[in-house]
Amino acid sequence: MNSTQKNLMISYKPIAIAALIAFFMLLTRGSHVLTAVSLPDASLALFLLGGLYLKRAWWFAAFFVLATVIDFGAAALDPMQGFCLTNGYWGLIPAYGAMWLGGLWLASRADAFAVKPYVLTSVITTVVAFVISTQAYYLFSGRFPNNGVLETLQYGWNYLPTYVGFTLMYMAAFWLAVKAFRLIQVGKSVQA
């Protein structure tokens, strides 16, 4: 492969990664109005991976717009899907931002896929995103009495296990895929 081909391949890498993130967001988001397959929402993991691989803020904005279009589109097709589309919805911006920043932090590591930082970052950012999104919903949705932060902190914790569990499931699957890819690469270089 000559240097022109290599540079061309490098320039398409972010577009290929963005296309994969968009594909999985479309596949798993929208309360499954878009597909017959009922996969858990992968958005949190996808935003962390976006921060890890794409880094730039405009990619973050593009994926938030895509998520919003999917959500409002799903609500247009099935009004019951619009239950969470309130003023509290916009709390997803800082929640997804926490995931993106976690990805940026991992990208700054010598090995983003070292077990300890990868797992800790995945868990911490997911819990932070949970607290932000849940509190934004309870405080600003208008569906609950006018309570303050201390009162609303009592609600929503029953959703934490699935919120964290599904995100960590996707993060673990991606970690395994990266490790497998690396082993294959090492095997190829040993054979060469």
The yes-or-no verdict on residue 22 having pLDDT over 80 is: yes
Domain ranges of the chain: 3-180
| 101, 55 contact by CB (below 8 A) | no
38-67 confidence digits (pLDDT tens): 789 999 999 999 999 999 999 999 999 999
Residue 2 pLDDT: 57
Distance CA 45, CA 103 (A): 9
Distance CA 75, CA 162 (A): 22
What average pLDDT does the segment 70-76 reach? 85
Cα-based torsion angle of the residue sequence 60, 61, 63, 69 in order, rounded to the nearest 10 degrees = 160
Residue 41 pLDDT: 92
The region, left, alpha or beta by phi > 0 then psi within -120 to 50, assigned to residue 144 is beta
165-175 confidence digits (pLDDT tens): 999 999 999 99
| 109, 117 contact by CB (below 8 A) | yes
Q: Give start and end residues of each alpha helix (H) in the chain.
A: 3-28, 43-53, 57-77, 92-107, 115-140, 149-152, 160-191
Residue 44 pLDDT: 97
The first and second tokens of residue 58, run together, are 């405009």
- Letter string b/e over residues 72-94, b meaning 16 or more CB atoms within 10 A of that residue's CB: eebbeeeeebbeeeeebbebbee
The yes-or-no verdict on residue 23 having pLDDT over 70 is: yes
Distance CA 49, CA 103 (A): 6
Q: What is the length of the chain?
A: 192
Distance CA 41, CA 65 (A): 16
The dihedral built from the CA positions of residue 16, 18, 24 and 26, taken in this order, carries a sign that is negative
